[in-house]
Amino acid sequence: NNGTAATDLDIKLALPIELDYLSSSPEATFVADTLTWLIQDVPAFASGNITIEVKTDVSVPIGTPIILYAFTDVTNDGDANQQDNEAYLSVEVVGSYDPNDKAVFPSGYISPAMIADTQRLEYTIRFQNTGNFPASFVRIQDTLSANLDLTSLDILAASHPYTWKLLPKNVLDVYFHDINLPDSTNDERGSHGFVKFAINAKPTLQLADQIENKAYIYFDFNVPVITNTVGSTVGFETGIKEPGKKLFLTASPIPTKDYIMVTIRNGATDGEVVLSLYDTKGALVKTKTSVSPDNIQMDIQDLPSGVYYLHARVGRDQGIIRILKN
């Protein structure tokens, strides 16, 4: 809560079909493919974490991109910035597990249009203490690409209290002081941590320019664990495997009494559009399919007045918008 007053948060997470939900803390309401939490009375400037346990079915091929989409709605009036209420995470199914890694969303190609629209690159660095004794501190150092705009750097979230600073030569330094991170042998669940940050690509980048990063993770005074290298290239996707993207929806009229007309603004046309309407408790109340992303009419006149969430999916692409019915 970056505001100046306490507020209630209605948090939703859409799980892709490749993942099976096992549990969460705090406990979630799970309806269809959506997890929902109502977190009440969050103080000003406070933050928190929700832990979710899922499993990937063995039938999912290695290399499959998995897209997680989360949305937070401030149930009180006066949300000053609704642009920071959504988050995506894109990861690939792998055949072996390295607990210390780095991921970027969007991955692969970023188009010149995305850069012009100040599309942020979101990086997640995960770490785990796989030693045999708790780590008193953890330090992450990431030399950021010269093709990134350092003035736009924003630390989004972390698993534990931290401090951060920029060192010479574009080095991002994130320091978890007195973390006392348990080792995986004695406390596997508690041995994990992460930091997530966002940053813009420089607007002057040209086609074929690359943005590559890897991180160095220090547990106490040990030699660093070096993560994988993640990369983004300015260009256009040409392969058959594409990560999902965010769908931008418009719905009118809002508020409405009977019908809404839905359009996907970024022109998703390569598949059937599936619209799912949920109430504030996460219950699925209506669905609609269409072969066109434009002017999809949904009849909601039989629903009671209130707030609803319209979720759209086209293949692996998805988006959400809030609907108000009088």
Lowest mean pLDDT among 37-51, 133-147, 310-324: 310-324
For residue 98, the model assigns a pLDDT of: 58
Please write the tens of the pLDDT for every residue from 115-168: 877 778 889 999 999 888 999 999 999 999 999 999 999 998 899 999 999 999
- Average pLDDT (220-234) is 89
**Overall average pLDDT of the 11-40 stretch:** 86
Higher-scoring residue by pLDDT: 64, 195: 195
- For residues 182 and 323, the model is more confident at 182
pLDDT of residue 241: 41
Q: Say which residue, 316 or 35, is predicted with more confidence.
A: 35
Read off the pLDDT of each residue in 309-323 and give the average, rounded to a whole number: 78
pLDDT tens, 230-283? Answer: 888 887 654 334 445 677 788 888 888 899 999 887 655 567 888 888 776 556
Residue 77's pLDDT is what?
67
How many Cα atoms within 13 Å fall on the side-chain side of residue 268? 25
Q: Tell me, what's the pLDDT at 155?
A: 93
pLDDT of residue 63: 67
Q: Confirm whether pTM is higher than 0.75.
A: no
Residue 163's pLDDT is 96
> Would you state the pLDDT for residue 161?
94
Is the model's pLDDT at 90 over the cut of 60?
yes
- Residue 33, pLDDT score: 76
With a cut of 50, say whether residue 285 has pLDDT above it.
Answer: yes
